[in-house]
Structure 1
Amino acid sequence: MAYAVVAHYRCAPADAGAVRAVLLQVREHTRAEPANEAYEVHAVEGRSGGFLLYERYADRAGFEAHKAAGHFRRLIVDGVWPLLTERTVTFAEVL
């Protein structure tokens, strides 16, 4: 069953360019993962430093493989997360 992830990230406006650049790198790596079906990065209108990520995987195991990938740790955990002032994530099974 398909598995979806929606993440809302917010960083200081001064860090928005750096976060955006890294998220676009992550997008390219993630789209190459076998279980990834979609990975979209959005800038939130009217919210400087606000980003919305929509991810879809073939199943939860595919998402778990994504989290275990080296690029996830290097770019997201070590690169993006330290720059965030706010982060919320919703996980859902696609009906």
Structure 2
Amino acid sequence: MAYAVVAHYRCDPADEATVRAALLEARARTRAEPANEGYEVHAVAEEPGGFLLYERYTDRAGFEAHKAAEHFHELIVDTVWPLLTDRSVTFAEVL
């Protein structure tokens, strides 16, 4: 069953370029994962430092494999998350 992740990230506008670059690199690497069906990164209109991510995987196991990937830790855990001022994540399964 398909598994989706919607994340809303906020960072200080001074960190926006660093976060954007890391998210775009994460997008490129994640799209190469076998279980990934889509990974989109959006800049939130009228919210400097705001990003919206939409990710879709074949199933929850595919998402768990994504979280275990080296690039997830390098780009998201070690680079993006420390720069965030706010983060909310929603997980969903297709009905």
Q: TM-score range by the shorter chain?
A: over 0.9
Q: Return the alpha-carbon distance in structure 2 between the equivalents of residues 70 and 54 of structure 1.
A: 20
Offset at residue 52 of structure 1 (A): 0.2
Aligned residues: 95
Q: Which amino acid aligns with 1:15?
A: D
Offset at residue 94 of structure 1 (A): 1.2
Q: Return the alpha-carbon distance in structure 1 between the equivalents of residues 4 and 18 of structure 2.
A: 25
Question: Which residue number corresponds to residue 56 of structure 1?
Answer: 56
The correspondence of residues 1-95 of structure 1 with structure 2, limited to 5 A, is 1-95=1-95
Offset at residue 34 of structure 1 (A): 0.1
Offset at residue 8 of structure 1 (A): 0.2
Q: Return the alpha-carbon distance in structure 2 between the equivalents of residues 22 and 5 of structure 1.
A: 18
Q: Which amino acid aligns with 1:5?
A: V
Q: Which amino acid aligns with 1:36?
A: N
CA RMSD of aligned residues (A): 0.3
Q: Which amino acid aligns with 1:88?
A: S
Provide the TM-score with structure 1 as the length reference: 0.99
Provide the TM-score with structure 2 as the length reference: 0.99
Q: What secondary structure, in the 3-state scheme, does the structure 2 residue paired with 1:81 have?
A: helix
Q: Return the alpha-carbon distance in structure 1 between the equivalents of residues 62 and 87 of structure 2.
A: 22
Q: What secondary structure, in the 3-state scheme, does the structure 2 residue paired with 1:20 have?
A: helix
Which structure 1 residue ranges, 4+ long, deviate > 4 Å from structure 2? Answer: none
Q: How many percent identity over aligned positions?
A: 78
Could you tell me which runs of 5 or more consecutive residues in structure 2 were left unpaired when the two chains were aligned.
none
